[in-house]
Amino acid sequence: MPPHLTETWSTTYVQTLIALLVFALGMPPLIYQLSLPREIGRVAQRQGVRAWRYVVFAVSASALASLAFIWFLHFSHRCFYGRFWDFVGAALVTAVVILVGFPWVRIMLLSSPEALAGRIGRNSIRGFARTGGLVERSLGDLAVLGAWCTAGDEKGRVLATYTEIARVVQSAKGYRGAELVDVIRGIETTLTSKDHPGADSNLITGCDILSSIRQRAANAESDRDSVEAGRAIGRLGSFAGSILAESTAFALLQAMGTDRRAIMGLGLSALATDRFLVALAALNQLESLEEREANLVAGKSSELLGLLAYFWTKGGSSRLRAEAYIGAAAGSFTPSFEECVLFAQRYHYQIAEYGTSDRLGEMLADIRQQKK
């Protein structure tokens, strides 16, 4: 038997219910939208975080609790008194607040970049185990997530997901060496996003992941992943040389190991922004590397000579450092230092690095002039 409600009570309840619904449906989505970039919200939707389910739940639950409140308490107001019914009333009001808030808290947790990265990683690995291939859409979502999440922990979680995916794919028997192109590009996007670049620690982690992808791909049937990872490290170097803290640039340089293009890229961007110690460390690393591996021959020392040419044409002390190296090592180049510079000039021209090619030309002209 429903309780008898007077007009005044009915109006009060309806007004309260409407206010509650407006709050339940309006405020949390507003907070949700303000706290998450729209792009990440879309990724959450595509990854199956269905907000409408929680809205339906919130509305139904709060409506039920409100009805219960009216039914029992209004009715009991006439028939029952006492602490028990006070408690029931308080419990129902509290339940309404919790039931309205809970779904939104749940949505926020499921839509956090960390949770989404974990979800995408699990789905990708499951999909790979099932079909032997990575789902392009999931990797696309992970790339968007990486580009839009904040530097530090969030990007760290996205990178950890990429690490796990790469590890699973590369340890699979059927790995051919060309399956990780989207993963490599995603890592690069995560770190070099224009609006949300990675933190220093993220860049070092990213460089380590790319290096290990490259190492593991070295003996695969196709060299696509290896080449792509090398290029990504190179672009990372160029990106990092001018923006990173000196200590991080050094750490990145260490992580680059023998990746000549990456070292050259980092050295060039450091030199362009007058971060001479970093640029010098990069030059020294290339010099040591080529001497150690007996690569002072035409065709194998193009990155070293390219960076050296930038030092030369920068003038002043940078040029002195380049002259000192050439004075000491020119005799070790085979067939001759000039031949090696000419080869490097052609090489950089062919890969459309005209700036480097021109500087090599300038350096060679200066050296010839000095000889006269």
At residue 232, φ and ψ (nearest 5 deg) are -65, -40
Q: Residue from 321, 343, 347, 348 that binds another protein (CB under 8 A)?
A: 321
As measured in angstroms, the least distance from the Cβ of 328 to another protein is: 7
Are the C-beta atoms of 334 and 296 separated by less than 8 Å? yes
Q: Which of 49, 57, 93, 58 is nearest to 73 (CA)?
A: 93
- What span, in angstroms and rounded, lies between the C-alpha atoms of 325 and 369? 18
- What span, in angstroms and rounded, lies between the C-alpha atoms of 360 and 319? 13
- What span, in angstroms and rounded, lies between the C-alpha atoms of 268 and 264? 6
As measured in angstroms, the least distance from the Cβ of 183 to another protein is: 25
Q: Between residues 45 and 254, which has the closer beta carbon with respect to another protein?
A: 254
- What span, in angstroms and rounded, lies between the C-alpha atoms of 318 and 312? 6
How many residues at the interface with another protein, by CB under 8 A?
18
Q: Residue from 10, 60, 215, 288 that binds another protein (CB under 8 A)?
A: 288
As measured in angstroms, the least distance from the Cβ of 135 to another protein is: 34
Site for another protein in 206-265 (CB under 8 A): 246-247, 250-251, 254
As measured in angstroms, the least distance from the Cβ of 17 to another protein is: 58
What string of DSSP letters covers 104-141? HHHHHHHHSHHHHHHHHHHHHHHHHHHHSS--HHHHHH
Site for another protein in 5-34 (CB under 8 A): none
Q: Between residues 226 and 285, which has the closer beta carbon with respect to another protein?
A: 285
As measured in angstroms, the least distance from the Cβ of 239 to another protein is: 19
328 binds another protein per the rule CB under 8 A: yes
Residues that bind another protein (CB under 8 A): 246-247, 250-251, 254, 277, 280-281, 283-284, 287-288, 291-292, 321, 324-325, 328
